[in-house]
Amino acid sequence: MEKAMNKNDEMMQREKEEFEHDISRLNDMIKISKKIVFFGGAGVSTESGIPDFRSPNGLYRDYLDPRVVPPEVILSHTYFEEHPKEFFKFYREKMLYLTASPNRAHKKLAELEAAGKDITVVTQNVDGLHQKAGSKKVLELHGSVYRNYCTGCGQFYNVNFVANKKYPVPECSICGGIIKPDVVLYEESLREQTIVDTVKAMEEADMLIVAGTSLTVYPAAGFLNYFRGRYTVVVNLSRHEREDRADIAFHQRVGDVFSRIDTDYCTDKKDTI
């Protein structure tokens, strides 16, 4: 029994030492790199209380019953058009987290950018938390819940109007058209300008950080193929194929890793001698 405990203690100590070593390497890579792309998925926002989709505690867990319409169908363009009332019921309950606050990862990225690091955030999330934290260079692959437009005349509406349950299906006060959230639904294409800007950021970056994503959603995951830079770092609780090409792979929460980034060191504001 005692021998088994000692073995576990040794393993835990070794893992701790490896983690500290990788954190040191991560800080060095950020310090050296001139242009960094942070490619984030749903796992970036889970610490803010927003569930992801495919983890054991994710959104899809509640829709395993084949008699229940799955999220992939509800969040499709066809379902939005044919069943708008049911779409907005799900959307309000499962997609809007308006009181959520930026977590450690969001804040650290904004802090690094404010301190002078050239960081482009490419996010698959629609929650706007990167902007709330202060990041300026944010590319939203799947849009944002904070933008909403009439499908008839294009009139803009804020998220509070759409969130108001008084209107089961929010309609435009000008033309009566249905108001659609500016999020990319299944069956819809990504915005052309967002595609161009993301490809450009990937091609110019010398460091890529992939965090909180299983890389199962396409075409978003395909953008990683445009990266030809020097360093790749993966931060994700579960393993995925990108790790085979990564310089460092962390299997910790994104916030646990990013809270260990030393902004002063990475931006040459700390004496390193």
Interval 190-211: pLDDT, tens: 999 999 999 999 999 999 999 9
Q: Per the domain annotation, does 27 fall within a domain?
A: no
Q: Do residues 213 and 266 both lie within one domain? A: yes
Q: Do residues 220 and 237 both lie within one domain? A: yes
Q: Per the domain annotation, does 199 fall within a domain?
A: yes
**Of the listed 21, 106, 142, 251, which one is catalytic?**
142
Closest listed residue to residue 95, CA positions, set 146, 40, 61: 146
CATH code assigned at 112: 3.40.50.1220
- Placement of tokens 């799947």 in the chain: 142
Q: Do residues 133 and 112 both lie within one domain? A: yes
Residues paired with residue 246 on neighbouring β-strands, in sequence order: none
Q: Do residues 165 and 90 both lie within one domain? A: yes
Q: Per the domain annotation, does 15 fall within a domain?
A: no
Q: Do residues 228 and 113 both lie within one domain? A: yes
Q: Per the domain annotation, does 62 fall within a domain?
A: yes
The residue segments making up the domain with residue 89 are 57-96+144-183
Distance of CA 63 to the CA centre of its chain: 22
Q: What is the pLDDT of residues 7-50, one digit of tens each?
A: 677 777 888 899 999 999 999 999 999 999 999 999 999 999 99
Q: Do residues 216 and 227 both lie within one domain? A: yes
Q: Per the domain annotation, does 202 fall within a domain?
A: yes
Spatial distance between the Cα atoms of 252 and 229, rounded to a whole number of angstroms? 24
Q: For residue 196, count CB atoms less than 10 angstroms from its CB and return exposed for 0-12, middle for 13-18, buried for 19 or more.
A: exposed
In the residue annotation, 142 being an active-site residue is answered as yes
Residues paired with residue 139 on neighbouring β-strands, in sequence order: 122
CATH code assigned at 64: 3.30.1600.10
Domain count within the chain? 2
User: 174 in the Ramachandran plot: left (φ > 0), alpha (ψ -120 to 50) or beta?
Assistant: alpha
User: 94 in the Ramachandran plot: left (φ > 0), alpha (ψ -120 to 50) or beta?
Assistant: alpha
DSSP letters for 72-107: HHHTBHHHHHH-HHHHHHHHHHHT--TT----HHHH
Q: Per the domain annotation, does 14 fall within a domain?
A: no
- Residue 89's pLDDT band (boundaries 50, 70, 90)? very high
pTM, to two decimals:
0.91
Q: What is the pLDDT of residues 107-122, one digit of tens each?
A: 999 999 999 999 999 9
Q: Do residues 261 and 171 both lie within one domain? A: no
Q: Do residues 107 and 212 both lie within one domain? A: yes
Q: Per the domain annotation, does 3 fall within a domain?
A: no
Q: Per the domain annotation, does 12 fall within a domain?
A: no
Q: Do residues 148 and 75 both lie within one domain? A: yes
